[in-house]
Amino acid sequence: MEKRRIGSLEVSVVGLGCLDFGPRIDEARAAEVVHAALDAGINFFDTADIYGMGQSEEYLGRALAGRRADAIIATKFGTQLDDERQGAHPDYIRRAVEDSLRRLRTDHIDLYQLHIPDPEVPIEETLGALDELVRAGKVREIGCSNLSAAQLREADKHSTGTGKARFVSVQNEYSLLHREPEADVLPECERLGIAFIPYWPLASGLLTGKYHRGEPAPAGTRLATASGRFAEFLSDENLARVEALRDFAEARNRSLLDLAFSWLLSSPAVASVIAGASKPEQIRSNAAATGWRLSPDELGEIDKIVSPAR
């Protein structure tokens, strides 16, 4: 498995998103998926305290018993858990990290990420608290999620030249069907030397090849009972794009899944593509989907199917 860097961390280009641990799969199945990931050469595991209200971290921590040294653990804080546990104030960060360390059964978190911006707390205060955690050895690197290019610049301004920890990564939505980061966030990442981690890289499963225009969503899939924005993934326009992308891949003896992963990894700023998996065979398919080096001509053809962000 190829590896790329997130700050000082060396991560597999395919990661495992652990959002489903708890809400969709139980602890035994989660452990099977984690072990299948490690056996496939995947070392990057992304979770958050909000996933399953702590269950995801607990399941991941127990699954990694005896294999912690083989894993790079990324987790997040800041999304509201209850009236007291939320935000990015230094006092809460100190509490949140201890809670996550306990649930993960580890003495350090490899990548600790601000999950969402907190408009009530100046970013320099958040960065100061995170720097304390790095200096204390509880966190190796710090990152963020759902920040704009302007917010990344503001954060970097308070870290550059100070000797303090800086955000080494940003995790935002990005896929063949959602190319918004190309407009400003990805160029800013390249300028600042920040790794980009795409979430929902398979558009909630739409880019796995399971969904077809004119057919109901397969029973048991994520989008079968989706509502709101997720249901919009199944629009005729999106399904037509998916069909065109599938035809493009199959004409080259590749799968739609191969295309979804390999296209994201064609961006030098992208460090690891984190996709969820509820079964070991899914994680093995994800791990095998990265070997396609798309040519400039192929990338140009893809742009005609799904327009780049402006």
Show which residues are catalytic: 51
CA distance 203 to 305: 16
| DSSP per-residue string spanning 201-219 | TTGGGGGGT---TTSPPPT
Q: How far apart are the C-alpha atoms of 25 and 12, rounded to whole Å?
A: 23
Tell me if 207 sits within 8 A of 272, measured CB to CB. Answer: no
Buried b (16+ CB within 10 A) or exposed e, 184-197: ebbebbeebebbbb
